[in-house]
Amino acid sequence: MSNDCPFCGIVAGEIPGRIVFESDDVTAFLDANPLAPGHTLVVPNDHHERLTDLSEELAREVFAALHRLTPAVEAAADADGSNVAFNNGPAAGQEVPHLHGHIIPRFDDDGGAP
């Protein structure tokens, strides 16, 4: 756990988060500033910054959660598709240094890819 990390705080229950899924290894919660209704973040419970900081086994767990949650998020948002993505490192736009996968619902009429 990293003390000044908001996602560690959410996983630990010390910072409020709208959690939609949790297991021993992975937690998913709604983004505080959603790019679309239902925008969900999927994180490993342990603090790791980048994709390659995860063990292959933990990466599999994170991806399995994304695989399971993506259709549920799309259905809950009544979306037509979604962007499922990681910003890996500050150069790629990663602002929170606790690896997280985004599930961003998309709609046929939402103006196209960002």
Residues found near Zn ion in the complex (CB under 5 A): 2, 5, 7-8, 47, 98
The 10 Å Cβ neighbour count of residue 90 is 10
The stretch among 43-51, 57-65, 88-96, 106-114 that binds ligand 5GP (CB under 6 A) is 88-96
- What contacts 24+ positions apart, CB below 8 Å, involve 85-92? 86/51, 88/50, 88/51, 89/49, 89/50
104: which strand partners?
83
Site string for ligand 5GP, 43-82 (x = CB under 6 A): ----------------------------------------
Reference 110, options 42, 34, 40, 41; nearest CA is 34
Q: Which stretch binds ligand 5GP (CB under 6 A): 27-35, 44-52, 54-62, 106-114?
A: 27-35
- Residue in 112, 49, 58 with CA at minimum distance from that of residue 83: 112
Partner touching 2 among ligand 5GP, Zn ion, none, CB below 5 to 8 Å by kind: Zn ion
Q: Quote the least distance from Cβ 7 to Zn ion, whole Å.
A: 5
Using an 8 Å Cβ cutoff, are 43 and 11 in contact? yes
Q: Which residues bind ligand 5GP (CB under 6 A)?
A: 6, 17, 29, 31-33, 41, 87, 93-96
